[in-house]
């Protein structure tokens, strides 16, 4: 599984886990935008991760998308900020944790 497909799986599982717990499906797009937009903007996909204020640097290190973006960028351009092994480990662990979304969806009471 490549980094891009792993991240797609992770966010699909996250969305499924959130949706499986909601009573009102009209709130789902609001919640997802509230989560996804900050995760995307703080991933390093649009802006470089060098020279950030300390608090933003801590947030980006807690963001699993930062590691996926860094791994993809390093694979395509050879420029890594964090390190390919760490990127693969973090993305792999978050995908394994993301499997809970599929499990939570399977136990929904209809």
pLDDT for residue 1: 52
Structure-block tokens of residue 45: 């996909």
Q: pTM to 2 decimals? A: 0.75
What pLDDT score was predicted for residue 85? 92
Cβ pair 87, 71 in contact under 8 A? yes
Residue 56 is predicted with a pLDDT of 92
Mean pLDDT by 10 residues, the chain (110 residues): 67 75 80 84 88 92 90 88 90 78 67
Alpha helix positions (H), 1-110: 3-21, 28-41, 54-62, 64-77, 84-106
What is the token pair recorded at 25? 């499906």
Compute the distance between CA of residue 31 and CA of residue 29 in angstroms, rounded to an integer: 6
């Amino acid at each position: 599984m490549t980094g891009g497909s792993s991240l797609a799986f992770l966010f699909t599982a996250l969305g499924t886990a959130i949706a499986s717990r909601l009573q009102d499906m009209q709130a789902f797009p609001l919640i997802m935008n509230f989560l996804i937009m900050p995760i995307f903007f703080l991933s390093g996909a649009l802006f470089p991760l060098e020279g950030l204020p300390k608090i933003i640097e801590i947030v980006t290190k807690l963001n699993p998308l930062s590691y996926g973006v860094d791994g993809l960028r390093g694979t395509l351009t050879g420029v890594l900020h964090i390190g390919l092994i760490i990127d693969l480990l973090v993305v792999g662990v978050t995908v394994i944790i993301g499997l809970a979304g599929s499990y939570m969806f399977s136990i929904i009471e209809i």
